[in-house]
Structure 1
Amino acid sequence: MQDNQQHDDNLRIAEVFLDTVWIERNLAENTLSSYRQDLQQLTDWMKPQGLSLLTITAADLQNFLAERLEQGAKASSSARQLSAMRRLFQYLYREKQRSDDPTAVLSSPKLPQRLPKDLSESRIERLLQAPSTEIPLELRDKAMLELLYATGLRVSELVGLSLSDVSLRQGWCVC
């Protein structure tokens, strides 16, 4: 019976946290749904042991993540789950419901680096021809696509460029 009460308390804490981050951080619906599912799995795992979100230890959380990996969870799922737990425990610490953040000592699982997929020449040609040159906004888009393709810039680098970084007359760009 006490396990059920503790589980209900854990679920309430998680729901208040999710409501708070949804409002404060304007999380996407998919992110919120993933966090909810991840925290549900954690609280379900805690239930038979009678653990509380307010007192669970880093060792307990490490055991939870290890069990998930043993059950076949992917490293990317564990990394996302750890991210949800980090946010939850940072929130509980910030709200003075905990005196520590047990996730602070946990390391993220190593994720394989994915290389970007390259496009065929025909797909690149279609992409570069898509924007109209008649409409100024689409002409800008075309210039941005051409610059990305010609230089290998990242999108974040491209949008960070200022007019002083580009000389159309001399044909250069400082990235």
Structure 2
Amino acid sequence: MPAELGEPVARFIEHLASERRQARLTCNHYRRDLLRLACYLQAQAATWAALDSHDLRGYVAELSRQGLGGRSIARHLSAIRRFYDYLNREGLARNNPALGVRAPKAPRRLPRVADVDQLNELLDGAADDDPLTIRDRAMFELLYSSGLRVSELTGVDLNDVRLDEGEIRVFGKGGKERLLPVGRKALQALRRWLAQRPAMAVDGELAMFLSQHGRRLSARSVQLRLARWGQLHGADQRLYPHLLRHSFASHLLESSGDLRAVQELLGHADIATTQVYTHLDFQHLAKVYDQSHPRAQRRPRSRSRG
């Protein structure tokens, strides 16, 4: 690679590492993305100073043809944008061609949800008097009953749960407080866990859910225990906390059709975030339609024999 293409990249990465104190992984990503563009410029017999927005859009189109998704291309453009800010300050370029260029819009992935009947079977499971199993059942029932994030679950303290009223107080993103209903099954599981909890808790610990050492349980532990629960009880997909939250939202919307209520229960600031579940609901309806309506799917016409 010509020095006029490679050396500015090397100096920029050194600038990021030494002056900007960027993480090594970030520097590695920037180096890789910029050297990829440098190779493209070399093939075009172009220079950094000559690159304009039109040329950069051609490069973005090439990345897309090579199979890169919108998020990966956006990361490339972010690196290029910062690189050209540096080149302009150093007098090596006069413009920033990345300012007016956007990455292709990445398709929004629909969250996965669990089947209602299978989820009921998994949560019922087999009766077990082991304290950790009793704790796990209470956690998983609560995740599905109230649509909690795993961070909200692990942050619950004893005084946040009102069993008689069937309510729980949680603190979501930005410390925003929500008061949520708790279902009958979850209340039963919580009462059973609370009978076991004193024998495990260390003095002064306020957390509702405890590790076997008597301290507040971590989010990672919840993830591992839920995955293990799914394996033990024959789940046909990997279980994780956000799957239960997604399932809560989708099943509730499917039954009620009340998008605003689901938004409030999930603690979404923007209803657009909640609207993804309307697509899930439509998928369910479309599946039922395809399977049930006699004229939903075209069947191949049999040929008459003459």
Match of residue 102 from structure 1: 97
Matched, 1:153 2:172: yes
Match of residue 67 from structure 1: 62
Matched, 1:82 2:92: no
Unaligned runs of 5+ in 2: 114-118, 124-135, 141-150, 158-167, 177-306
Counterparts of 1:77 and 1:144 in 2: how far apart (Å)?
33
Letter in 2 for 1:9: E
Q: Which has the higher helix share?
A: 1
Counterparts of 1:124 and 1:79 in 2: how far apart (Å)?
41
Pairs aligned (count): 140
Match of residue 20 from structure 2: 25
SS at match of 1:34: helix
Letter in 1 for 2:156: E
Superposition TM-score, scaled by structure 2 size: 0.39
% of aligned pairs identical?
A: 27
Counterparts of 2:138 and 2:13 in 1: how far apart (Å)?
42
Q: Structure 1 residues 108, 74: CA separation in 2 closer, same or farther (over 3 Å shift)?
A: closer
Counterparts of 1:60 and 1:79 in 2: how far apart (Å)?
16
Aligned pairs for 1:27-42 within 5 A:
27-42=22-37
Counterparts of 2:138 and 2:112 in 1: how far apart (Å)?
12
Q: CA deviation at 1:114?
A: 5.4
Counterparts of 1:33 and 1:124 in 2: how far apart (Å)?
44
Q: CA deviation at 1:146?
A: 2.1
SS at match of 1:97: coil
Unaligned runs of 5+ in 1: 127-140, 161-175
Q: Is the 8 A contact 2:81 2:99 kept in 1?
A: yes
- The counterpart of 2:139, out of the listed 108, 125, 136, is 125
Q: Structure 1 residues 111, 124: CA separation in 2 closer, same or farther (over 3 Å shift)?
A: farther
Letter in 1 for 2:155: L
Q: Structure 1 residues 152, 59: CA separation in 2 closer, same or farther (over 3 Å shift)?
A: farther
Q: Structure 1 residues 84, 142: CA separation in 2 closer, same or farther (over 3 Å shift)?
A: closer
Counterparts of 1:14 and 1:69 in 2: how far apart (Å)?
23
Matched, 1:54 2:49: yes
Counterparts of 1:9 and 1:95 in 2: how far apart (Å)?
14
Counterparts of 1:105 and 1:15 in 2: how far apart (Å)?
25
Match of residue 297 from structure 2: none
Q: Structure 1 residues 65, 143: CA separation in 2 closer, same or farther (over 3 Å shift)?
A: closer
Superposition TM-score, scaled by structure 1 size: 0.65
